[in-house]
Structure formats: structure tokens, C-alpha cells
A and B are shown apart, each in its own frame.
Chain A
Amino acid sequence: MTIAKKLECSLTIGTYSASKTSGTAWYTAKFETKVDGDSQTSKFGQWSSYIGVRDGFASLGQKSQNSDFEAGDTDVAATMYIFLSQKDQVGARATGVREFPFDTTVTDKELYFKAYGVGLKSAAKFAATLPAADKFVASNSLNAFTGGTFGLDAAVYANKDAETGSPTGMVEWKFAAAAWGGSCCITTGSCGASVCDKSSGNLNLFSTPDSKIISHAY
């Protein structure tokens, strides 16, 4: 992964001389700030962010809240994020794109979410969500795609029980082959028996409405 260590923003006010150049720079200013990882010497957490600008796979994140994770708390919830972009393409590997781990245009695989750790609860519930603030919009879509909001099928992806029989310290959720992925909405406008409505909760997790682009990615 390539990590951005600095963020920089420049402002230049000049005299017009051509479409992209200025005859006289009347005013220039530059703002530069560091992000995590730059010149740090064993001061983990001094800065609060990493910005991955180039990597080979989808980024993962962890969410927490101030009131979470108190010592001795039981049945604590945890939320993780998978950050997808339009470059997270599926199928055959292509130059210049990130490769999602699986080809989700087809529905021939089972999908597993597994967690390992002391203190994990076998009765934990799983839910995959698309945060409202991060839904796909047309302004950052591919040109060939109109964009829109997406709603996962809550009956499938919310409040899912863990698989039984897992050893202590492991919790596993399993999605059958047809329960995720697929090419819903590419051409036929249908999601199985349901009418494809991207915003009404009929979408499969990691489905690919546009060619090789995961629906909830931008």
C-alpha cells in the first residue's frame, strides 16, 4: 500500500494569459499538513489518520464509539468497514484496477465472514449495511452508470445468526452461493423474483449492477 504522508492544497490568483497559465501570480498560498506515518518515531496515534492512496485490495476499517469497549462490558458490538472503489473490479484481473477477492458477478461461491478471538460470542449477530452517507451518487459514478442509492435485502443481511458448531473463540457467518453477488440490474432489471429497485432493499451484497463494478462502490 502506498500511504499519503502529507496533504497539500495550493491557491494561486493570477492574471489570465491563457487557458491554463497566468502571466502574473498576484497571490499564492499553500497549506500543508501531515498525516499519520510521516516522521513519526514511536508515537503511535500522534496523528489520527492514514490515507491510503494506492493499494492492491479493498481497505478495511474499524469503527468505535466513546462509550464502547469499557473494561468488563459484555455483548459489545463492533463495526467494521470495507472501503470499495470503482477500481475494485471483479472477474479477470485487469491492468490498473484493484482486484476484489472474488468474482461477484457469478453466484457460484459461498461467502464466509469469520472472526477469531478470546471472548467472542457464539450468539453474535451479523448485519451488512450501506451507510446512508456513503451511498453511491451519480456525480461520482462512472460515465456509463447513472448512479443511485442502494438498499441491501435486510431479510438476508440484517440480524443474521452465526453458524452453529464453531469452536470456542471463533464465530462464523455463512452466505450461500445465491445469497450474495450476482449481476442484478445490469440489463434485465430483475433481482431474481423481485423487481430490481436499487433503493428498496432488494440488492445482493457485492452485486454488480454495472460491468465488473460492485454496486456499493465509488
Chain B
Amino acid sequence: MVGIAFSAFMDMPAHLTTVRGRGGLGSSNQKFMDVFWVMTSNIASSASLQAYMHFYIIVAAANAKTDAEMLVTYGFPLNTFSATAGTTLKSENDGAVALSTGMKLYIAADVAPLADYYGFYTLRMIPFFKATGGNEIDVMVSTARAVQCWSWGSYNGAGFATIHGPAWATYFANKYFALMQFRGVNMIVCKLGTAAGTSSTGDVVIIPATQLAPDTPATVNNPLPLAVSTTPYLSSSLDSMKTACNSVNPAILAGSDEYLGTMTFISNANTAFADIAPTQNYAGTAQAVAFPAAISQLTDNSQSSDATLYDITAKTDPTTNWVIGAAKLDALLLFKQAAAAAWTDVRSVMTVCGPQTGSTIPSDLVITAGNDGAGAACTAAYLYTVGAVDE
């Protein structure tokens, strides 16, 4: 054996191999560290020994973070699963697909993100793309924080990050974390900026979305897939997804640029999957799920139950304001939680839905927190066409 040692040999790209940068060998945008090595002689037609070596670029020790250290949390408050043996459409979800119809980011009060851009692997969701193109999507922010988001990936093709098995991870002292490769699992990249979260409240970013795989038949307005669906795009059940993610959630990436190839931070994905997405089965009519997980379980609109309350009342005197033909009424949406919910939790969200045709919810509806019309506002309405798959 002969050892050929090259000292002070190369400068490693500043970005991670695992998130697939741009450019190959010789490219100025190369994000891999590739070296083509040749031992040859000076005679004509010399034979040679050759090797093409690829050096996986690992996370710099200072950039290897826990999920908490990434300082931005995320979750899928409207993510739904269900049991197989249900008797209704909403309960017949076999859990073969993990759906997401919305994503929430939370930047805690007075906490500054590590970098301008964050990347999050998402469960099966199709966000609302902006007409401006470039994969930019609509977002709602609870504060004045300026946020832009983009959705990347192939919605029914392969993902863009590979699983690194335990042996591989150990080899690199666990500096490769739970990246994964699944069809239908895409990445949302958001420009959050590095400003600290708004004092006392923090900043909430909601990314509305529709499901990736609609029901079969597609006439059911239900974010849950039908139990008999046999062709889910995602080849993993909830359990297998959890397994593939080493029983935790996918890693969070962060960097100074929206392109994956420039991400330099990666989390160790040490948050339990159940902490970012409701993983409890959606059990038909039983009110077994806490409010943040399944709001519709708790809405009888009757105010007759101590456990549930969901109603809309006039903000001002209804006898003079709630009259036929009145438009854009100020109303109070009242609801009561069956269980305590911290709205800063990444699984907490409240939505109001109505039919597109003949809807009494105007497209310019403004929803504010509190009852004085001055609270944090949601200002966008999103049209969802049942069964549409916007790929």
C-alpha cells in the first residue's frame, strides 16, 4: 500500500453536499468537492491510475444545530390522518398518505433567525403560487414582518435529498442529519430576515395550501383522502415517514440565499414528528382530538355544549347592522377550546372556510384577533377547488 497525502490541498465549498448545489466539476458554482486524480508517466500512451473522488461536505461544527437552535419552529396544524375503519369519508383515511393543508412558522418574540433564508421539508401540500412566477407562494404574516416564500421540488417525482443511513451518519460523526427522499415531499424556502420576532407576540407565518392528493372521488370537499385510495404519490405511510426520519421530523435548513445549494445550517431534526404535525388518528365523530388538531370535531355551532362553542355574532347592535343587504359586516367569531392551546404552538391555527360560489365570506374578508378590530390581522382569502391538483 502506498499512501498519497496531499496537505493544504483544497478549499471546501461553503455549502453542504447533501442539499445539492449547482455545477459540476470545473464549474465556478460547484458545490461538491470533487477531485479527479491521475497518476501517469511522461511516455507516449502512458497507462495511468485514475480516480474520481467525491468528498462529501459536512456541516461546519458551528452550524450543526438542534431544531431549537434554529430559532424558527414550524408545523402543520391542519395536517390530518385517520383510522382505516371509519364509516364516513372524513374518517376513512387510511393514513397511507400524510396530508398537509397548511404550514405554520413561528419566530418567537425577541428571537432572531440564524439567517435570512430557511428551508423546511413539507408534507404533501400545494401552496398558492403567486402570479409573479418564480415558484413564489402566498404567505400570511401576523405582524409587519416581511416574508417571502418559495416552493421547490417535484410534486410527484423524487425528492431532492437522500437518506443517509446510520452507518454513514456515524462515519461523519452524525453531522449528516435526517434529510430524506420521498415523492411528494417538497421544500418551502422562506426569506424570513434576521430581525428578531415581534416583542411579546413573536411572528406567525401561515402558508396556506391545498392537499396534494385529493379524494377519490374528487367531489368530496374533504382534506382527508379516501380510505380506498391505492395510488398515493407518497409511498410512505405516516409510520414509515416517521421511521425514515429517524422518528423525528426532517431537518431544518438555513442559509443566506434562497437556493438550496447555499444553505449552510442544518438542524439535527431532534424534534419528535408528533410535535410538528397532528399524528393522532382522526376518529370519526369522537371528540378525541384536541382543538388545534381538528377544529371541525368541536364545532356544533349550537353553543349548547360546554365543551364546544363556535358562533358568529354581531360586533355591534345586530338590529341595526345585521339587516338584509348589508355588506361587510363586522362580526365576532366566538369559539371555545376543548383543551388549552398555545397559539404560539406550531400546531395551532384557526381557519374560516366557506363555499366559493354564493359564499357569504367576501374575498376581501379581514380577520383580526381580539374583539376591537385592531388585533393581528389575516388579510388574504384563498380559493380552494375541490379535487384540483395544481401540479
Contact = CB atoms under 8 A, between A and B. Distances in A.
**Do A and B bind?**
yes
Interface of A: 43-48, 57-58, 60, 62-64, 66-84, 99, 101-102, 109-121, 123-131, 134, 159, 169, 171, 205-206, 216
A127 B38 contact: no
B2 A78 contact: no
Contacts of B8: 75-77, 121, 123-125
Nearest to A62: B53
Interface stretch (B165-173, B280-288, B347-355, B365-373): B165-173
B36 A83 contact: no
B167 A76 contact: no
Contact of A83 (B1, B53, B164): B1
Nearest to A80: B4
A121 B12 contact: no
Interface in B18-46: 25-28, 30, 33-43, 46
B264 interface: yes
B374 interface: no
Nearest to B39: A113
B1 A115 contact: no
A216 B43 CA distance: 24
B3 A71 contact: no
B9 A124 contact: yes
A79 B6 CA distance: 6
Interface stretch (B54-62, B203-211, B295-303, B308-316): B54-62
Given A70-B57, A78-B9, A128-B4, A118 B37 contact: no
B7 interface: yes
Interface string B63-90: 1000000000000000000000000000
A102 B43 CA distance: 9
30 contacts: A43-B165, A48-B167, A57-B49, A60-B49, A63-B3, A70-B60, A71-B264, A72-B14, A73-B12, A76-B10, A77-B6, A79-B3, A81-B2, A81-B4, A101-B47, A109-B43, A111-B41, A113-B39, A114-B37, A116-B25, A117-B10, A117-B34, A117-B35, A118-B30, A124-B7, A126-B4, A127-B3, A128-B2, A169-B26, A216-B1
Contacts of B175: 66, 70
B2 A205 contact: yes
Contact of A69 (B3, B43, B55): B55
B362 interface: no
Contacts of A43: 163, 165
Interface of B: 1-16, 25-28, 30, 33-43, 46-51, 53, 55-61, 63, 162-165, 167-168, 171-173, 175, 264
A63 B5 CA distance: 9
B30 A119 contact: yes
B6 A81 contact: no
| SS class, residues of chain A in contact with chain B | loop
Contact of A118 (B5, B27, B61, B172): B27
A130 B175 CA distance: 31
A77 B168 CA distance: 21
B55 to A, nearest CB: 5
A66 B46 contact: no
A134 B360 CA distance: 81
A74 B12 contact: yes
A69 B12 contact: yes
Contact of B41 (A74, A79, A112): A112
A111 B39 contact: yes
A75 B49 CA distance: 25
A181 to B, nearest CB: 10
Contact of A126 (B5, B33, B46): B5
Contacts of A81: 1-4
A72 B264 contact: yes
Given A78-B10, A79-B4, A120-B10, A71 B43 contact: no
Given A62-B55, A111-B40, 7 more contacts: A48-B167, A62-B51, A72-B264, A74-B12, A77-B9, A101-B46, A125-B8
Contact of A115 (B12, B37, B164): B37
Contact of A71 (B37, B53, B57): B57
Contacts of B56: 69
Contacts of A126: 4-6
Contact of A74 (B7, B11, B53, B163): B11
Given A112-B41, A128-B4, A80 B13 contact: no
